[in-house]
Amino acid sequence: MEPEYPLPDVSGSVQTPRFNLVITANQPDNAELLPKQASSFSSRERFLAACRCQSVDRPPVWLMRQAGRSLPEYRALKEKHTFLELVRTPELATEVTLQPIRRFGFDAAVLFSDILVVPEAMGQPYHFKEQGGGIEMEFAVSSAEDIHRLDHDHAIERLQYVAEALALIKPALDGKTALLGFAGSPWTLARYMVEGSSSGKQDRAKELFYSEPKLFAALMEKITTVVTAFLKLQITSGAEAIQIFDSNGDILADNAYEAASGRWIREIITALGNQVPVILFSKGVPGRIDALVSTGANVLSIDWATPLAQIRSQLPPHVGVQGNLDPFLLTTTPEIVTSETKRILREMKGWRGHVFNLGHGVPPNAKIECIQALVETVRSFA
């Protein structure tokens, strides 16, 4: 999802092989309470209903980065294929997407990909650093010329492998599990594109925003155009909900958030036209709830630093919340995970529109037994 699996340098044409795929709290007076009812929801129905703040039997559960590095079956594939092959080969991306569904039975399957496929498709390749890890873009966007050379007209043509993967994943889910697509927010993508790497001072995007607003706007307009088209492509290819990752939103001051990030997200969500539910993940939520709600997102995904019920009580009834177990807990014990999962479920009991998730992605050293404990606890909660 987010660029923790950075792609190698993909400048020039890339030929990807084809593979045979075998699909084997206290509540305010106006709180809308869930009716007690027997479970009659499929995973897909439960997830989509919760995203629309409709009544469900229990909160649906899926995890950011549920597909990938924490699973032994993924690591086995990674021994045979590069990350680039896994992302850009539809059959392999499908296999990785389905692995956690087979193992854990999550209510939603999230497309296996990476947010940096968008700048790569715009002509800004990136690769692994040989020293120190992390990623490095082929060039950093730092001038009007750099922005001009970014190709937003043909980017979607280069992202057709995503549509092909979704077309394989959707029938494999057999209508039982929801299919979730995603993209990075324009601000989060711009930060990587302008910085040129995943290390360093990491403030060049802010400098561009404050000191050269016209250049900043030109860059954001291009990114927003591509992200919008990319999400539309995912929807037409089978995605039933979308998550936008505004993972770098927390580095912005609250009074700058709307201009630097919020307005561009709102433009994307407006263009999607309420075709599917949209989840917005952004760090640093408490001081900018109004700005986040104004984007039009159906669900706000909250990091683990803020009590979920506190945020939910400040939202209008039509906006749901997602989260927000501390991902670190998946490295501890099943007993700890069970206890903390129950705590969040108790705090949120009675609220419509709760999608259980982590406050960020599954860590690479997460324990399988801890993930299983989380899922079983949510499933059995009443």
pLDDT in tens, 39-52: 589 999 999 999 99
Rounded Cα distance, 127 and 132, in Å:
13
**Residue pair 231/159 in contact by the 8 Å Cβ criterion:** no
Rounded Cα distance, 192 and 242, in Å:
21
User: E strands of 95-213, at which residues?
Assistant: 108-110, 126-128, 135-137, 178-184
Backbone φ, ψ for residue 4 (5° rounding): -100, -10
Tally of helices (H runs) and strands (E runs) in the chain? 17, 9
Q: Provide the 3-class DSSP secondary structure of residue 98.
A: helix
Summarize pLDDT for 89-129 with one digit per residue, the tens.
Answer: 999 999 999 999 999 999 999 999 999 999 999 999 977 66
Q: Which residue has the tokens 């630097």?
A: 260
pLDDT surpasses 90 at 372: yes
Task: Return the higher-pLDDT residue of 104 and 37.
Answer: 104
> Measured between alpha carbons, how far is residue 117 from residues 87, 142, 156 in Å?
9, 20, 10
- pTM to 2 decimal places: 0.89
Q: Which residue has the tokens 């700048």?
A: 119
Q: What is the mean pLDDT of residues 10-32?
A: 38
Measure CA 51 to chain center.
14
Four-point Cα dihedral 165, 107, 53, 277, nearest 10? 0
Taking the CB of residue 15, how many other CB atoms lie within 10 A of it?
A: 5
Taking the CB of residue 73, how many other CB atoms lie within 10 A of it?
A: 14
Cis peptide before 324 (omega within 30 of 0): yes
In eight-state DSSP terms, residue 150 is: S
pLDDT surpasses 90 at 357: yes
Task: Return the higher-pLDDT residue of 335 and 8.
Answer: 335
The token pair at 316 is 């209008």
Amino acid 198: pLDDT:
65
Fold annotation for 43-380: TIM Barrel (3.20.20)
Amino acid 133: pLDDT:
63
Provide CB contacts within 8 A for 317, sequence distance 6+.
30, 32, 53, 352, 353
pLDDT surpasses 70 at 173: yes
**How does DSSP assign 300-312, residue by residue?**
EE--TTS-HHHHH
**Residue pair 285/250 in contact by the 8 Å Cβ criterion:** no
Rounded Cα distance, 341 and 377, in Å:
7
The type of residue at 230 is F
For the chain, the average pLDDT equals 89
Taking the CB of residue 324, how many other CB atoms lie within 10 A of it?
A: 23
Rounded Cα distance, 316 and 289, in Å:
10
